[in-house]
Amino acid sequence: MKRSIALITLAIITFLVYCLSFYYSSVVDSVAIATGSLVYIGLSVLSILVWLIIFIYSDSKNKLPWLFVIALFPVLGLILYIMVGNGFRETYRYHRRMKQLGDDYLSPVCDFDHSQVKTVLSDEACRLVKLNKMTAINDISFRSKTRILTNGEQKFPVLLEAIKNAQQFIFLEYYIFHSDEMGMRVVNALIDRAQAGVEVRVLIDAMGSSKRMSQSTISLMRRSGIKFAEFDPVWIPILSNKINHRNHRKILVVDGKVAITGGINIGDEYIHRSVKFGFWRDTSILIEGEAVHDFSVLFAGDWFFATGERLEDERYFYFTKCEEDGGVQVVDSGPTSAIAPIKQTIFRMIMDANQSIYMITPYLIPDFDVIMALKNAALSGIDVRIIVPGRPDKKFVYYATQSYFEALLAVGVRIYTYDGVFCHAKVVIVDGKIATVGTANLDIRSFYLNFEVNVMLYETQSIQSLLNDFNIDFSRSTEIIYQDWKNRSIKDRTLQSLAQLFSAVM
């Protein structure tokens, strides 16, 4: 009997506990549901407000993709936009930091010697010179010499020799710097000069070189006397829109006498040792003379942003003069400028072309202005040719590049794919007389988001080297035929359209 009473009592207590827990859990769930609903409604309303603000006030070139994402996924889209899409805070942060340098430091304030200049520039070139001086400030130099360095096998011997010959200072700034065999050859050359008393400063992009340069290599450089810094580290990439504003520049400056820039980073893959890519097609350029000064100024600004150290010693901005060989002008751009100087330059080059436009780029994701300029040029009877990779490094980005083919092919633009090779060169030549070589791709990211630098060439001998390279590249590429391209599969069309839609936010 007692056992039965005990079992009944236990059952009643269990039932009461269950009822009580159910009651309280229902209350908690109701509060949670109500709270969650309010939060969701609040986020939805905020999404609508943000959508309207972007629609009315934003002049960003990736405006439409973000409007689409926020409209399709209101809450998720808003969160993504706040994390990585909104560049207002980052742009303000750059402006604020660089303003601390002062106008005299920010601006090169260097008008080069134009006396007794023999080079005669065309009207188109004169317009470009004036445009670049307005947007990027830098003057044209007629006392500079340039040499094209095709692929890594030409660049790295020249780079290592320049480092070896340094007597006073070395500025080295790279987006990607590996700790592999080639990377360590450069590191060891820098260490050798640092131990010989040469001032060596190395600046790498914190995202571009993340996981590529080992901490042991960084420690080795610092112990050897090299001043080392990372540009804009990102502690939690997914929660920061810093990832949208990277330093994509590749610069070496030695003693104010020599500068090197272009598409080639530092690592084994750039000398054709990559298992994934094999042969790597790329272009860099060596600059001597007056124009080296502008690279020193550019590095000094980037170094200040990364470290807070002002490089004011006059010897950093010393430059020599070379015999006249056409005109050379340095054009830099980045999120600190709403004018997009390099994009403006390329747009003007296209619009002023009279006979031919040759381009090679790893990514062809231009904005509306450049697309229309290319179409206009082709429809005007100008020979427009573009070389893009025959194999991708990023599949989705490659689909975005392909998404622009049909519209360009339809109006007569000739597009070539480098046979089985990833070409990373960034070169534009107009009429065989004006060219630009540098770090900027023909895409929205390079035009508006990344820190980039290009070299403008006017009537220089090095332009012929670029033309020779183009002729070789054309012979190694396959031209896309418009009628064949129109017959591509529905799957490819779908992927290309989807990639184009999101290309501005990738």
Within 10 angstroms of residue 408's Cβ, the number of other Cβ atoms is 21
Whether 227 is catalytic is no
Catalytic residue from among 255, 325, 332, 352: 255
Of 39-48, 412-421, 451-460, the poorest mean pLDDT is in 39-48
Of 110-114, 221-225, 300-304, 375-379, the poorest mean pLDDT is in 110-114
Mean of all residue pLDDT scores within the chain: 85
In a shared domain, residues 204 and 268: yes
In a shared domain, residues 109 and 27: no
User: What is the structure's pLDDT at 24?
Assistant: 42
Whether 99 is catalytic is no
The residue from 89, 119, 138 where one domain ends is 89
| Token duo for residue 225 | 């006397």
Whether 178 is catalytic is no
In a shared domain, residues 108 and 81: no
pLDDT score of 475 more than 60: yes
User: What is the structure's pLDDT at 3?
Assistant: 43
Catalytic residue from among 426, 433, 469, 473: 426
CA angle 460, 432, 322 (to 5 degrees): 0
User: What is the structure's pLDDT at 245?
Assistant: 79
In a shared domain, residues 237 and 285: yes
Buried b (16+ CB within 10 A) or exposed e, 179-196: bbebbbbbbebbbebbee
pLDDT score of 229 more than 70: yes
For residues 447 and 398, what is the distance between their CA atoms, to the nearest angstrom? 18
In a shared domain, residues 168 and 20: no
When pLDDT is cut at 50, 70 and 90, the band that residue 4 belongs to is very low
User: What is the structure's pLDDT at 501?
Assistant: 75
Of 105 and 210, the one with more pLDDT: 210
Q: Tell me whether residue 135 is in a domain.
A: yes
User: What is the structure's pLDDT at 275?
Assistant: 83
For residues 337 and 106, what is the distance between their CA atoms, to the nearest angstrom? 13
Of 103 and 4, the one with more pLDDT: 103
In a shared domain, residues 105 and 78: no
Q: Tell me whether residue 375 is in a domain.
A: no
Number of domains in the chain: 2
Q: Tell me whether residue 386 is in a domain.
A: no
Q: Please name which of 102, 92, 140 lies closest in space to residue 345, comparing C-alpha atoms.
A: 140
- Name the percent of the chain lying above pLDDT 90: 64
pLDDT score of 215 more than 50: yes
User: What is the structure's pLDDT at 47?
Assistant: 62
User: What is the structure's pLDDT at 65?
Assistant: 65
User: What is the structure's pLDDT at 410?
Assistant: 97
For residues 69 and 67, what is the distance between their CA atoms, to the nearest angstrom? 6
When pLDDT is cut at 50, 70 and 90, the band that residue 89 belongs to is very low
User: What is the structure's pLDDT at 26?
Assistant: 46
Q: What is the rounded average pLDDT of the residues 379-395?
A: 95
Q: Please name which of 20, 41, 59, 62 lies closest in space to residue 501, comparing C-alpha atoms.
A: 62
Residues in contact with 65: Cβ distance below 8 Å, sequence separation at least 6, in sequence order? 501, 502, 503, 504, 505
Q: Tell me whether residue 380 is in a domain.
A: no
CATH value at residue 209: 3.30.870.10
Per the CB < 8 A criterion, the answer to whether 283 and 148 are in contact is yes
Of 426 and 44, the one with more pLDDT: 426
In a shared domain, residues 119 and 267: yes
Catalytic residue from among 155, 250, 343, 433: 250
In a shared domain, residues 45 and 132: no
Q: Tell me whether residue 94 is in a domain.
A: no
Catalytic residue from among 155, 242, 245, 248: 248
Q: Tell me whether residue 370 is in a domain.
A: no
For residues 296 and 292, what is the distance between their CA atoms, to the nearest angstrom? 7
User: What is the structure's pLDDT at 62?
Assistant: 58
Q: Give percent helix, percent strand, percent coil of the chain, each to the nearest 5.
A: 50, 20, 30
Whether 424 is catalytic is yes
In a shared domain, residues 31 and 169: no
Q: Tell me whether residue 117 is in a domain.
A: yes
Concatenated DSSP letters of 427-490: EEEETTTEEEEES--EEHIIIIISBEEEEEEES-THHHHHHHHHHHHHHTEEEPPHHHHHT--H
In a shared domain, residues 346 and 455: yes
Whether 426 is catalytic is yes
Whether 250 is catalytic is yes
Entry pTM: 0.84
Q: What is the rounded average pLDDT of the residues 230-250?
A: 74
pLDDT by residue (tens digit) across 128-187? 999 999 999 899 999 999 999 999 999 999 999 999 999 999 999 999 999 999 999 999
Catalytic residue from among 155, 343, 424, 433: 424
In a shared domain, residues 189 and 252: yes
User: What is the structure's pLDDT at 400?
Assistant: 93
User: What is the structure's pLDDT at 289?
Assistant: 96
Range of the domain at 197: 101-362+424-475
User: What is the structure's pLDDT at 358?
Assistant: 98
pLDDT by residue (tens digit) across 306-343? 998 999 898 999 899 999 999 999 999 988 887 899 99
Q: Tell me whether residue 404 is in a domain.
A: no
pLDDT by residue (tens digit) across 407-428? 999 999 999 999 989 999 999 9
User: What is the structure's pLDDT at 21?
Assistant: 45
The residue from 89, 117, 151 where one domain ends is 89
In a shared domain, residues 68 and 130: no
Buried b (16+ CB within 10 A) or exposed e, 116-147: eeeeebeebbeebbebbeebbbbbbbbbbbbb
